[in-house]
Structure 1
C-alpha cells in the first residue's frame, strides 16, 4: 500500500458519504482515488479525517446518525417508488399525518411489516418503512410524526419533515398540429444583435428571434443561460459561471421597453440616448462583445428610468413580485448593492458573511440600491414574459428553452447568501476525456448533498421556478451532475478529483414537479462519460437526453440515424465545438494546437479529423444527401437532413450553422487565452449578421426550410 492509498476505514467513510473511491475513466481505465483527495472532499463535507481515530469515529457516526432521527431531514419520491423511513424507539407507537400543500390533512397509513431493529445510544430503535399511496397528490407537503408510549394516550414527541411527491413521468413535448416531433433554433443570445440593441443581444432580441424562427416552423428557441452575472466590472463572460442561478441578468434588459420610459422628461430621455449611442455603434462589429461597456451604458439608463414614479397599478405589481420572491430576492439585491459599494476596493472579510453585523448595517445603509436591484429583477421578469409571449404568438408550441448552468461563481450571490449549501475548498469540473485531455475545472463550488436534503431542496425548487415562469422548456447542462459531480480539491489538477453522488431521485423529482406545473419540457445534456443506467433512467422519466451528430460513433464510422435514441434533442454540434463550417475545416484541431491544449502531435489529431470527416461524407453520399463535390453550405444542410432522419423527438438547428459562422464560442480548458462567450454572430466572411436581416438571409431561410420540410 502506498502513502496515497486509502485505509479501509477511510474508503468506507468516503463511500458512506457518497464519495467514489474508484471509477472507470473515459479511456476505460480503472482509477483508484488517492487518500489525499478523499480526505479533502470529506473535510469539505465537515467530516473530521485528521487522524485514524477520527476516521473511525466519523464512520461509526455516519452509520448510526439516520437511526437517531424519527424522520429524515426531507423526503422526495414518486408514489410507490421508495418508502419513507421512520425510526421509532422501543415501547412507542407512531402516527403519521401529512399537511398537504392545499391546507388539508391526510393520514399516512403504516402497513404491517417486520421492522429492523438496532441499538442506538442504549435504546432499541425500530426502522419501519412507509410507502406513499399511489393516489397521493403531487406537491410540496409536510409529514408529521407523533410518538405515543405504549399504554398511554398522550403523544410525547413529534417531528416533521418536508415531503415532496413528484411525477412518475413527464409527457412528450408538445408539437405543432399534425406533427409528432419538433425542431427549434439554438443561439447564444448575447451574440444575436439588432440595430436596436445596446451592443449585445437582449430580451427584446430574444422575442424577435423567437418570432422569426416560429414563422419558419420552429417549435422552440434554445438560448444560453441568462442567469444573473456581475453588476460591476469586469463582468464574467461565461453564462455558465453566473453569480446566481436563481435570478436573472439585467444585462439583457432593453431599457426603452420599460413602460416608465414614456414618462421621462426630454432631458432624461437625452441621458438614456446618450448612454446608448456609443455601445449601439458596435452592433455591427463582428470582433467581440464588450459586456462591461454594455452594462456601464445600461446602468446609466436604468438608473434614470428607475427614479420615475410608478403608477398605483405598477407599484402593486412590483410589490407583489417582491413579496413572491421573498427574502432570497432581498439578499440577492443586497449582494448587488455590496458589489457596487466595494467596487474597486477590497471587501473586508466580515462583508463576506451575510449574517455579520457589518452586512446588517449595510443592508440599511444601501436600502436605495437594494430597491433598485429588486426593481431590475421585476423588469427582467416582465421582459422575459413578453419574449415567451412573442414565441407563442409565432406558433411555437414550446417557445423559449432556457439553459440551466451546472453551478455558480465562488464569489457570487448564491455562494454568498447560501454559503452553508456549498462545499468550501472544492471546484466542480470533469475528468480527462477525448476532447479535453487534461480534464476541466469550472471553478464553481458544488452543492453539499446533505445540506440540500436538510433544506428540503428549496434552493433547487426556487431556481427552477424562476427559469420556467416564462419558458416552455429547460435544458440542464451536465445533467449527470444531478447524479454525481466531479469534485476537485482546491489547488489540484482536474485529474486529481473524484465523483460525489447526489440523491438523483430527489433532484430529478423536484425538477419534474416544477416542470410539470409550468407545462415545460426537460432536456438533460448527457454527453461524455455517463455512468450506466443514467440515460435509461432519464428516458423512463420522460426527460430527453442530448445527441450530437459528431459523437454518434459506431466502430470506425457513424451510427445510422435510425438507431438514435428517440428521447433526445438531436443536434449537429455543441457550443464547445466550432460551428460546423469551422469543424469541417479542422478548426477544432487548429485552435487547440494554437492554445497548447493537445496531448498528441497535431499531425495525429489532423489525421483523425480527416478520417472522421471522410467517414461522415461517405455516409452522406450513401444516403444521397450530397454529390461528389458539395459546397460547404450543401454539406451543412445534408448534415441537418441526416439528423431529421433520426427518431429523435426534438431536432436543434444551430443559428451559427444557418449563417455560416466558423468561430467557436467556447474552447474548454481556456480562460483568457481565448475570448470565450464573447463572439458576435457573423457569417463565413466575418461580417456581422444582424437580427434585422436574418429573415431574408438566403442561407438561413434555405436551411430552416429544409429542416421544416422534413417534419
Structure 2
C-alpha cells in the first residue's frame, strides 16, 4: 500500500483494526481498505490520477474561506476558522451572522489580529488560517454566517448551536418507570382495515393501550417503500426515510371517500368482497392491498381535487403549505414514484433508479424535469398521498396526547435506504453505491451481515452542511414522543462492504459522531422526543458512555443480558437510562423461542451449514431456558406451578406472562413489550439472513384489534404490568 493510499485511509476514517464481538483484535485487509476508498470515488488503481485527486481535494479545502458547517456545543465560545491569502490578512472583513430568528449580528475584524492556526502554500500563493473569535453568544438553532469584504459576500457557512443532551421528559428524569407496546403496524388485523394495518388502527390501538396503562406505542419503521413495487416490503429497506408509507393511509377516512363517484365504484366493482379476502389471509398480500388502495386513492384524489384543490379553499392552502415545507425532498419522492409508475406501465420491472433508462438515472437530469412538467397531475397525486399520510399520523399522535400518554407514538429510524431508492436518486453524490452497510461477524451472524443499503459518504454529508441528517432526524421526530435509532453505531462508524465481497471482508468507516449527536440533541429538544439507541452487536464500551452522556437511552434485550456463567442478569440491574425488552423484530416470539421454532425454521430455510452447528444451538437453547427458569424462580417471578426443571416446562400463558411481568420489576425507565407475545403467537415476523425463503414482514397478528382488549387475561396482564412499574418507580 503506497503512502498516498495510507494517508487517505487515515484521513477518510477507514479503521485498520477493531475489536470483534469476542473481544479480540481484528485486522482489516489492505485490499479491503483500497476497495473502500474506491467506493468513495478514489482512483486507487492509477497512482497519477489518485495523486491529482488528493491535490485537488487539499486545494479546495484551503481555497474555501469557511468550512461548510460548524457545530457549536452548548458550553463553547463561538470561534470559526477563516482562510485568506496572506495579502488580505491585514484587511478589514465583516462577519455577518443571520440567526434563525431573523436577527442579524455583525462584527468587523482583521484576520491578522486573531490567532493564526495554520499556513499552506498553494502554487505561488500562501494561505493563512485564523481562528476568528465572535463576541456574541448564540442561541440554540441553525444560523448562517457570511463573510463580506468591501460589501461583497465572499463565503457562507451554516452554524449550528446545540444543547447539552437529548430531551428527557421530567417525570422520567424523576424516576418514573413506564411501559408500552410495540407493534409492526402492517401486522394489525381489524374488521375495518383493507388487509393491512393503517393509521386509524393505530389511533384505536393507542386508545386501548392507554386505557390499559401503557405510556407509548412503538412502531416498526413506517418509511415510504415503493408504490410500484409493493412486494419490496421490508421496512428496513425503504425508498425514503423522510416520508411515510402511503399503504398506512385509511382511505375511508379521507374527505371525499363518501363522494358519489367513489361509492359507485365501490359497489360496481364489489370492492368489499376483495377487502374481505385481503383481511382473511394469514399474511399481508402487498400486491393485492396496493392494487385496491391505489385504485381507491386515485378516485378519492380526483374527487378531492375537484372539490377543494381546484379552488381557493383552506384545504388547498394547507396542501400547498405542506408541499412547500417538504421542499425538494418531497418533490423528489413524488416525481420518482410517478416516474416509476410510468415505466412500469410500459411492461417492465423498473425496481429502482439503477435500471431506469439512462436519461432518468438522477433527479437533476433534464429529461426528469420534462417528465415532471408533462406529468404534473401524477406528481401531485403522490404529493397528496404524503399529505394525507402525515395528517392521519398526526391525528394518531393527537389521540396519544389526549389520552395522557407520557411518550405517545414511538418511531423507529432505519439505518439506511435501499439501493434503488428515491433518496439516493435525488442525492447521488451523498451515497457510495459501490458499497453496502452491514455488520462484522458476531455470535448471531458468524459470517457477518450485508444489508444492501449504500452508505452516506461522511465527507459529502459534511460538505452538504449535514442538511440530509437534520431533515432525517426532524421528520422522524415530528409528532412522536420517542425515536429509536436502529443500529445507533452508525453515528460513530459503519461496517462497509464493497459490492460483490463477502460481509466478513468489510471494514469500519468513521462518522463525525460528536457533530451528529449534537444535532440529534437539538432536534430531540425541539420536538420533545426522547431518543433510544439500538446499541446491540459490536459496540465499544466508550460509545455507550458517550450516548448516555448525550441523554440517549440504551436498548437492553433480556435474552442478550447474560453473565459469563450463562445466567441472566436481573432486570433490576439494567441501566435506568435504558429501554428494556424481551424480544425484537429479528428474534423469535417468546413461544417460538421456548419451543425452538426459530431453529426448526432456520433448518427448513437452510440457514445452518450442517447438523452439528444446529445441534450446538439446540443444546445452548436448552441451557439458556434452564437459566431463565432459575432466574424467574430466584426472583419469585413465577409460581410453583411452573417446574424448576426445564425438561418439564413448555411455554404456556403463565410462563409467558411471568416473563413479561418479571421485566416490569426492572430498573429500566422504559419497558417495551411486543403485542405478539400478549397474543402468545409463535411465528416470527422476520428471519434475518433470508429473502424469499420466508414471508418476512408479512405475518399478521392472530386476532383482530377489536377483540384483543376485551380478553380478561390480557387486561389482567396489563394491570399487573402497570402495578409493577409503579412499584419499580418508588424503589
TM-score by length of 2: 0.90
Alpha carbons of 1:638 and 1:127: their partners in 2 closer, same or farther (altered >3 Å)? farther
CA distance in 2, matches of 1:258, 1:125: 61
Residue number in structure 2 paired with 1:139: 141
CA distance in 2, matches of 1:170, 1:134: 25
CA distance in 1, matches of 2:471, 2:681: 37
The 5 Å alignment of 1:405-554 reads: 405-554=414-563
Alpha carbons of 1:613 and 1:140: their partners in 2 closer, same or farther (altered >3 Å)? same
Larger CA deviation: 74-83 vs 243-252: 74-83
Could you tell me which runs of 5 or more consecutive residues in structure 2 were left unpaired when the two chains were aligned.
Answer: 351-355, 643-650, 727-731
Alpha carbons of 1:638 and 1:64: their partners in 2 closer, same or farther (altered >3 Å)? farther
CA distance in 2, matches of 1:125, 1:262: 69
Alpha carbons of 1:107 and 1:593: their partners in 2 closer, same or farther (altered >3 Å)? farther
* Contact 2:223–2:240 (CA under 8 A) maintained in structure 1: yes
Residue number in structure 2 paired with 1:72: 67
Asked if 1:708 is matched to 2:717, the reply is no
CA distance in 1, matches of 2:493, 2:142: 24
* Contact 1:90–1:125 (CA under 8 A) maintained in structure 2: yes
The 5 Å alignment of 1:300-449 reads: 300-308=295-303, 309-311=306-308, 312-343=313-344, 344-345=347-348, 347-449=356-458
Residue number in structure 2 paired with 1:603: 615
SS in 1 for 2:722: helix
Larger CA deviation: 447-456 vs 49-58: 49-58
Residue number in structure 1 paired with 2:202: 206
Task: Quote how far apart the aligned CAs of 1:113 are.
Answer: 6.5
Residue number in structure 1 paired with 2:154: 158
CA distance in 1, matches of 2:343, 2:367: 13
Which residue of the other structure, out of 623, 634, 648, is the alignment partner of 2:668? 648
Q: Deviations over 1:455-483 (max 9, x none)?
A: 22222222333223222211111111111
Asked if 1:637 is matched to 2:657, the reply is yes
* Contact 2:166–2:520 (CA under 8 A) maintained in structure 1: no
Task: Quote how far apart the aligned CAs of 1:624 are.
Answer: 0.7
Residue number in structure 2 paired with 1:97: 96
CA distance in 2, matches of 1:156, 1:319: 35
* Contact 2:257–2:263 (CA under 8 A) maintained in structure 1: no
Residue number in structure 2 paired with 1:690: 704
* Contact 2:98–2:104 (CA under 8 A) maintained in structure 1: yes
Residue number in structure 1 paired with 2:729: none
CA distance in 1, matches of 2:663, 2:480: 25
Which residue of the other structure, out of 614, 619, 640, is the alignment partner of 2:626? 614
Asked if 1:672 is matched to 2:669, the reply is no
* Contact 1:271–1:301 (CA under 8 A) maintained in structure 2: no
CA distance in 2, matches of 1:131, 1:235: 55
* Contact 2:548–2:554 (CA under 8 A) maintained in structure 1: yes
* Contact 1:581–1:661 (CA under 8 A) maintained in structure 2: yes
Alpha carbons of 1:266 and 1:489: their partners in 2 closer, same or farther (altered >3 Å)? closer
Residue number in structure 2 paired with 1:3: none
Alpha carbons of 1:232 and 1:398: their partners in 2 closer, same or farther (altered >3 Å)? same
Task: Quote how far apart the aligned CAs of 1:529 are.
Answer: 0.6
CA distance in 1, matches of 2:488, 2:613: 33
The 5 Å alignment of 1:13-28 reads: 13-28=8-23
Residue number in structure 2 paired with 1:120: 121
* Contact 1:436–1:668 (CA under 8 A) maintained in structure 2: no
Task: Quote how far apart the aligned CAs of 1:23 are.
Answer: 1.8
SS in 2 for 1:201: coil
CA distance in 1, matches of 2:390, 2:333: 15
CA distance in 2, matches of 1:317, 1:569: 37
Alpha carbons of 1:106 and 1:643: their partners in 2 closer, same or farther (altered >3 Å)? farther
Q: Deviations over 1:553-599 (max 9, x none)?
A: 12111223232112111111111101111111222322223333236
CA distance in 1, matches of 2:170, 2:186: 27
Residue number in structure 2 paired with 1:51: 46
Task: Quote how far apart the aligned CAs of 1:327 are.
Answer: 2.5
Alpha carbons of 1:467 and 1:116: their partners in 2 closer, same or farther (altered >3 Å)? closer
CA distance in 1, matches of 2:268, 2:382: 18
SS in 2 for 1:604: helix
* Contact 2:482–2:529 (CA under 8 A) maintained in structure 1: yes
Task: Quote how far apart the aligned CAs of 1:51 are.
Answer: 3.2
SS in 1 for 2:213: coil
SS in 2 for 1:652: strand
CA distance in 2, matches of 1:63, 1:649: 48
SS in 1 for 2:201: helix
* Contact 2:234–2:697 (CA under 8 A) maintained in structure 1: yes
CA distance in 2, matches of 1:134, 1:536: 32
Larger CA deviation: 315-324 vs 354-363: 354-363
* Contact 1:80–1:131 (CA under 8 A) maintained in structure 2: no
The 5 Å alignment of 1:178-257 reads: 180-257=176-253
Task: Quote how far apart the aligned CAs of 1:157 are.
Answer: 6.9
* Contact 2:212–2:719 (CA under 8 A) maintained in structure 1: yes
CA distance in 2, matches of 1:241, 1:438: 21
CA distance in 2, matches of 1:468, 1:156: 39
Residue number in structure 1 paired with 2:588: 578
Residue number in structure 2 paired with 1:594: 604
CA distance in 2, matches of 1:168, 1:109: 30
The 5 Å alignment of 1:288-307 reads: 288-307=283-302
Q: Deviations over 1:634-668 (max 9, x none)?
A: 22222223322322111111111111011111111
* Contact 1:250–1:380 (CA under 8 A) maintained in structure 2: yes
* Contact 2:364–2:426 (CA under 8 A) maintained in structure 1: no
CA RMSD after TM alignment:
2.5
Residue number in structure 2 paired with 1:661: 681
Task: Quote how far apart the aligned CAs of 1:281 are.
Answer: 2.8
Q: Deviations over 1:304-357 (max 9, x none)?
A: 111112331211211111122123222211111111101132531221222323
Task: Quote how far apart the aligned CAs of 1:532 are.
Answer: 3.2
CA distance in 2, matches of 1:395, 1:230: 35
CA distance in 1, matches of 2:481, 2:366: 42
Larger CA deviation: 629-638 vs 32-41: 629-638
CA distance in 1, matches of 2:510, 2:713: 45
Task: Quote how far apart the aligned CAs of 1:246 are.
Answer: 1.4
CA distance in 1, matches of 2:246, 2:17: 43
SS in 1 for 2:401: helix
